[in-house]
Amino acid sequence: MSSNHANSPPAGKPESPLWIALVLTTTFLIAEVVGGIITNSLALISDAAHMFTDSAALAVSLVAIRIGRRAADRLRTFGYYRFEILAAAFNAVLLFLVAMYILYEAYQRINNPPQIQSGAMLVVAALGLVINLISMRLLAGDKDKSLNVKGAYLEVWSDMLGSVGVIAGAIIIRVTDWAWVDSAIAVLIGLWVLPRTWTLLKESLNVLLEGVPEGLNILEVETAIKEIACVVSVHELHVWAISSGKASLTAHVVTELALPGQQVLLKKIRETIAEQFDIHHCTIQLEIEPCEDAGEHGYGTRSLTSGGSK
């Protein structure tokens, strides 16, 4: 059996952009809440609520990065990487609850719209848009590398769209005096956010349930291993992610080689998995014949006849 180890704490996580975005977002959050109360605008308050979840997401992301840097210990042999995923799931749930509240409040107001101060509403929303654009710029470079940062980026992105909606609503109200537009914009913001919330939550749950990482086909992994010379079959194949971009693999590989040649085969299997699927933490157990549990647990060939020597 051989294991290719890669459990060192992560380095170079995007802390600085997160800190800057957090300070900007939190500072403007206070101003936007005050502006929403003064203007009596639900759309503006909705945008402020999303800005609050942005601040929470950024703060939790920073905590997740700090905790994720802790080295593995005897209690958590894989380290603390998965705290990042818990943070992403928390952000998704929080955003969902805020969206539902805004929809409910809009329903309450739709038949009895209050007087809206569209001028102040427009100014505050425009400032919010600028803050969102700056935060998005700061987070864009790392959003595809970390599910945690991606969650924060999606919340800022959705809030940016909310600011655009509030600006449009303020202009319409100022020109037409249709106060109900404020509630309608709030509803549109809530409906726009919900699908993105589900996407983030689904990706987080897939990691927590140790599902196959997004974009990875386990059948292709099995085929790549079986195509290596001297591999007869594969069983007990498991592929899962500890955190964003950190997949692990375990497998039992039946081979026709005797002990002296198995080390070369192990090296070839590890190199193939790393080159083709970017999986650098793998544990391979070589067997002359399938173990008793072959086919009962995990994924992979259930009998020798489906493999074939090379």
Q: Give the domain-ending residue among 176, 208, 240.
A: 208
Residue with tokens 């719209």: 113
The phi and psi torsions of 191 (rounded to 5 degrees) equal -70, -30
The share of the chain scoring above pLDDT 70, in percent, equals 82
pLDDT in the model for residue 8: 41
Q: How far apart are CA 58 and CA 63, in angstroms?
A: 9
On whether both 223 and 188 belong to a single domain, the answer is no
Q: Give the domain-ending residue among 174, 208, 242.
A: 208
Q: How far apart are CA 160 and CA 186, in angstroms?
A: 13
On whether both 185 and 223 belong to a single domain, the answer is no
On whether both 190 and 51 belong to a single domain, the answer is yes
Please, what are the averages of pLDDT over each run of 10 residues along the chain (310 residues)?
46 66 82 78 72 74 73 72 78 80 76 74 83 81 69 74 82 85 79 78 85 87 90 90 81 82 87 90 85 63 40
On whether both 289 and 258 belong to a single domain, the answer is yes
On whether both 196 and 55 belong to a single domain, the answer is yes
Q: How far apart are CA 85 and CA 146, in angstroms?
A: 9
Q: Kindly report, residue by residue over 227-264, the tens digit of the pLDDT.
A: 998 888 899 899 988 777 678 899 999 988 776 778 88
On whether both 40 and 164 belong to a single domain, the answer is yes
Lookup: tokens for 167: 């600006």
**Of 156, 274, 277, 276, residue with least CA distance to 214:** 277
The CATH number of the domain holding residue 290 is: 3.30.70.1350
Q: Which amino acid is at 263?
A: Q
In a domain, 3, yes or no: no
* 115 contact partners, CB below 8 Å, separation of at least 6: 40, 179
In a domain, 163, yes or no: yes
On whether both 223 and 197 belong to a single domain, the answer is no
pLDDT in the model for residue 32: 76
In a domain, 213, yes or no: no
On whether both 245 and 164 belong to a single domain, the answer is no
Q: Name the maximum alpha-carbon separation found in the chain.
A: 84
In a domain, 1, yes or no: no
pLDDT in the model for residue 272: 92
Burial class (CB in 10 A: 0-12, 13-18, 19+), 259: exposed
On whether both 43 and 83 belong to a single domain, the answer is yes
Q: How many domains does the chain have?
A: 2
The CATH number of the domain holding residue 193 is: 1.20.1510.10
In a domain, 276, yes or no: yes
In a domain, 68, yes or no: yes
pLDDT in the model for residue 161: 76
Lookup: tokens for 161: 């769209």
Q: How far apart are CA 16 and CA 167, in angstroms?
A: 30
User: Pairing state of beta strands 231-243 and 246-255?
Assistant: antiparallel
Q: What is the pTM of this model?
A: 0.64
What letter would DSSP give residue 280? -
Residue 244 structural domain = 218-306
**Of 274, 273, 294, residue with least CA distance to 227:** 273
Q: Give the domain-ending residue among 208, 240, 257.
A: 208
In a domain, 188, yes or no: yes
On whether both 201 and 224 belong to a single domain, the answer is no
Q: How far apart are CA 118 and CA 174, in angstroms?
A: 6
On whether both 160 and 225 belong to a single domain, the answer is no
Lookup: tokens for 228: 């290596």
On whether both 195 and 247 belong to a single domain, the answer is no
In a domain, 128, yes or no: yes
